[in-house]
Amino acid sequence: MQTQKKIKIETFLKHPDVQEVIRNVNQDLIERREYTPPMCRAFSGEYTRLEEDATYRFHIDKEARIKLPKIIDSKVQVVERSEALDEPSLKRYRQPRNIGIVFSGGPAPGGHNVIAGLFDAAKKANPDNRIFGFLVGPDGIIENEVIEIDSELVDKYRNLGGFTMIKTGRTKIDSQDKMTFSRETCRKLNLNALVVVGGDDSNTNAAFLAQEMIDDGVQVIGVPKTIDGDIQVRDADNRELCAMSFGFHSAARAFASDISNLCTDCSSDIKYWHICKVMGRVASHLAMEVALQTHANMTLIGEDLANYVDQRRIVKAETEGETDYTAYGMTLRHLSRVICHGIVQRAAVGKNYGVIVLPEGILEFINEIQVFIIKLNTIIANYNRTRDVDFHTAFPMLEDKREYLRRMASLSREGKGSQIWRTRDDDLFNDLPAFFQEGLLTERDSHGNFQFSLVETDKVIMDLVQDYLNILRENGVYKIGIPRVFFRKVLEKDSLDPNIFGPILFHNYPKDDFLLTKPTIISLKTLTQALVDAKALKHDDTIPAPIKKIYLKSVPKFKTQTHFYGYDGRGTDPTRFDCIYTYNLGLTVFSLIANGVSGQMAAIKNLGHEFSEWQPIGIPIGPLMHLEERKGKLALVIEKSIVDVKSPAFQIVKALRENWLALQPNEDNYRRPGPIRFTGLSEEDRPITLKLNALGKNL
Ligand code: FBP
Ligand 1 pocket check for 106: Cβ under 6 Å: yes
Q: Closest Cα to atom 5, ligand 1: which residue?
A: 106
Ligand 1 pocket check for 329: Cβ under 6 Å: no
Distance from the alpha carbon of residue 232 to the mean position of ligand 1, in angstroms: 17
Q: Which residues of 647-683 are buried (b: 16+ CB within 10 A; e: fewer)?
A: bbbbebbeeebeebbbeeeeebebbebeebebeeeee
Residues 251, 570 contacting (CB under 8 angstroms): yes
Residues 226, 199 contacting (CB under 8 angstroms): yes
Q: Indicate whether this model's pTM tops 0.85.
A: yes
Ligand 1 pocket check for 228: Cβ under 6 Å: yes
**What is the edge-to-edge ordering of all strands in the sheet holding 298-299?**
298-299, 354-359, 273-278, 560-565
Radius of gyration of the chain (CA): 30
Task: Give the number of the atom of ligand 1 that is nearest the alpha carbon of residue 200.
Answer: 2
Residues 317, 277 contacting (CB under 8 angstroms): no
Cite the DSSP H helix spans in 86-199. 87-94, 111-125, 139-142, 151-157, 176-188
Q: Closest Cα to atom 11, ligand 1: which residue?
A: 281
How many CB atoms neighbour CB 56 within 10 A? Answer: 20
- For the chain, domains (ranges, CATH) are 38-82+95-246+578-630 (3.40.50.450), 481-554 (no CATH)
Residue 263's pLDDT is 98
**Mean pLDDT for each consecutive 10-residue tract of the chain (699 residues)?**
80 94 92 96 97 97 96 97 95 97 98 98 98 98 98 98 97 93 97 97 95 96 98 96 98 98 97 97 96 98 90 83 76 91 97 97 87 87 87 91 93 87 88 84 75 80 94 96 97 96 96 95 96 92 96 96 97 96 98 98 96 97 91 85 97 97 92 87 82 88
Task: Give the number of the atom of ligand 1 that is nearest the alpha carbon of residue 445.
Answer: 19
Q: Closest Cα to atom 7, ligand 1: which residue?
A: 106
**CA–CA dist 209, 293 (Å, integer):** 39
In Å, the largest CA–CA distance within the chain is 106
Q: Closest Cα to atom 1, ligand 1: which residue?
A: 106
Q: Which of 281, 564, 582 to mutate to test the pocket of ligand 1 (most atoms within 8 A of CB)?
A: 281
Q: Which of 228, 245, 449 to mutate to test the pocket of ligand 1 (most atoms within 8 A of CB)?
A: 228
**CA–CA dist 386, 276 (Å, integer):** 41
**CA–CA dist 379, 408 (Å, integer):** 10
Task: Give the number of the atom of ligand 1 that is nearest the alpha carbon of residue 226.
Answer: 4
Provide the annotated active-site residues. Answer: 228
**CA–CA dist 330, 337 (Å, integer):** 11
Q: Which of 226, 230, 286 to mutate to test the pocket of ligand 1 (most atoms within 8 A of CB)?
A: 226
Residue 277 host element (H or E): strand 273-278
Ligand 1 pocket check for 280: Cβ under 6 Å: yes
Q: Closest Cα to atom 17, ligand 1: which residue?
A: 106
Residue 325's pLDDT is 67
Residue 689's pLDDT is 97
Residues 105, 636 contacting (CB under 8 angstroms): no
For 633, residues 6+ apart whose C-beta sits below 8 A from its C-beta are 381
Distance from the alpha carbon of residue 602 to the mean position of ligand 1, in angstroms: 21
Among 454, 463, 404, which Cα is nearest to 429's?
Answer: 404
Distance from the alpha carbon of residue 284 to the mean position of ligand 1, in angstroms: 13
Burial class for 459, CB neighbours closer than 10 Å (0-12, 13-18, 19+): middle
Crossing angle (nearest 10°) for helices 423-431 and 367-386: 120
Residue 29's pLDDT is 93
Among 347, 302, 256, 303, which Cα is nearest to 461's?
Answer: 302
Residue 432's pLDDT is 83
Ligand 1 pocket check for 528: Cβ under 6 Å: no
SS3 percent helix, strand, coil of the chain, rounded to 5, is: 50, 15, 40
Ligand 1 pocket check for 452: Cβ under 6 Å: yes
Tell me the CA distances in angstroms from 415 to 15, 379, 409, 421, one per residue in order.
81, 17, 10, 12
Task: Give the number of the atom of ligand 1 that is nearest the alpha carbon of residue 280.
Answer: 10
